[in-house]
Amino acid sequence: MRGKNNQVFDKKIPKFYLRVYDVVKRIPKGRVSTYKLVARALHSKAYRAVGNALNKNPFKFVPCHRVVKSDGSIGGFARGTNEKERLLKEEGVEIINNKIKNFEKHLFHFDRP
């Protein structure tokens, strides 16, 4: 995987994790996707493994905060759910009672333009 300045990263990171990070980088600001949709984009059913990869993400340029649960609730975040909520709100995503308001409007599908 290469970063913003084209640097190559440590090969000790599992290949599956790097693939997850590449997919998640495609989610635009102001949009969210789900652990399930990320797994599907990888032709996998390993939704929990996607969550584990995101929890261990060492790269600031991978927007892990944009991945939420399939029911629209925000789910976990390595830096805490308050920080995840703050980052999403900063991008224009409204959250009420720990859920994305107008979830379908904000939902990003990898197989659609």
CA distance linking residue 41 with residue 38, whole number of Å: 5
Query: Would you list the domain boundaries of the chain?
Result: 15-106
Higher-pLDDT residue of 3 and 39 is 39
Per-residue model confidence as pLDDT tens digits over 83-101:
999 999 999 999 999 999 9
Q: What is the pLDDT of residue 6?
A: 46
State the average pLDDT over residues 30-44.
97
CA distance linking residue 42 with residue 108, whole number of Å: 15
Considering the domain 15-106 in this protein, what is its CATH number? 1.10.10.10
Residues known to be catalytic: 64
| Confidence tier at 10 by pLDDT (50, 70, 90) | low
What backbone torsions phi and psi does residue 108 show, to the nearest 5 degrees? -100, 125
Q: What's 28's DSSP letter?
A: P
% pLDDT > 90, the chain? 86
Q: What is the pLDDT of residue 111?
A: 85
Q: What is the pLDDT of residue 107?
A: 97
| Secondary structure class of 100 (helix, strand, coil) | strand
State the average pLDDT over residues 4-29.
83
Report if pTM > 0.75. yes
